[in-house]
Amino acid sequence: MEAKTTDLEKFQDRTLPTAVVPVSGHYDNLIEIALTKDAGIEILEKLMDLKERDEANKARKAYVRAMAAFKESPPEILKNKKAGFDHKDGQGRTEYSYAGLDQVAEEIGKALSKHGLSASWKTEQSGKIKVTCTITHEMGHSESASLEADADQSGKKNAIQAIGQDDDGKGSEPEALITEEECADLDALLKEVNADMPKFFKVFEIKELSKLPAKQYKKAVKMAEGKRKNA
């Protein structure tokens, strides 16, 4: 039984010389050629999916390397605060030093940034308090870990609440979209190259240009410019 040839393989066979077939996961040339050849949505989606998986794999490897480097040389956390308590039997007092949460977050944040990493926090409250810390690499890969504890009923904040409040809600911000200026510039470029807008919206999974995620802006511009270059 003969193996079934996929649409993507047929597209490569009839369109691309060997020199431009992507090596080591480089799909930009294929995507540009697909756009100039008016390839179908299915082919474009497959190319975009292959490119995104390749980029995700590279980002994951970069994250692992960065975390290894961070752990190899962790920051020194200084104990910048003091506390104490009286013994219940009235026989003396115990005092000690500790690192405040703000100090810990600041020092670890600085150390992470040296390796292209950043931390964000998300707090959830439903009976118990759950705090999730997400470490993200500058190439986009991220990994999360969560802690869960009962709420403090004494009126004082416990450690897990403090961690959540220190984040100021940054972990739950919605995805950023392109600005009005970027939208106008991209719209003009797409009109200039006579882009197929329904196809463009399908590729980026949006219904209108203003809803394009900011992180996809450069990719959209590059695709449009590729069509103009090969016109």
Q: What ranges in the chain are assigned the alpha helix state H?
A: 7-15, 28-36, 41-72, 101-113, 159-166, 180-192, 197-204, 217-229
Are 114 and 57 in a shared domain? no
DSSP code of residue 218? H
Highest mean pLDDT among 58-62, 162-166, 221-225: 58-62
Are 68 and 79 in a shared domain? no
Closest by Cα among 44, 7, 53, 47 to 27: 47
Asked whether residue 203 is assigned to any structural domain, the reply reads yes
What is the reported pLDDT for 111? 92
pLDDT for residue 19 is more than 50:
no
The number of folded domains in the chain is 3
Q: Which one of 38, 53, 73 terminates a domain?
A: 73
Asked whether residue 2 is assigned to any structural domain, the reply reads no
Are 66 and 99 in a shared domain? no
Q: Are strands 117-126 and 93-98 parallel, antiparallel or unpaired?
A: unpaired
Amino acid at 108: I
Are 121 and 178 in a shared domain? no
Asked whether residue 198 is assigned to any structural domain, the reply reads yes
Are 43 and 111 in a shared domain? no
User: Do 207 and 201 contact (CB within 8 A), yes or no?
Assistant: yes
Amino acid at 1: M
Distance between CA atoms of residues 214 and 219, nearest Å: 10
Q: Which one of 19, 45, 73 terminates a domain?
A: 73
Asked whether residue 184 is assigned to any structural domain, the reply reads yes
User: Do 112 and 70 contact (CB within 8 A), yes or no?
Assistant: yes
> Domain of 88?
75-172
Are 81 and 25 in a shared domain? no
Average pLDDT rounded to a whole number, residues 2-15: 52
Query: For residue 208, what are the CA distances in angstroms to 7, 163, 213, 215?
Result: 28, 38, 11, 16
Average pLDDT rounded to a whole number, residues 16-29: 49
Confidence of residue 3 (pLDDT cuts 50, 70, 90): low
pLDDT digits (tens, 9 = 90+) for 169-224: 444 445 788 888 888 888 888 888 888 888 888 888 888 998 898 888 888 888 88
Asked whether residue 1 is assigned to any structural domain, the reply reads no
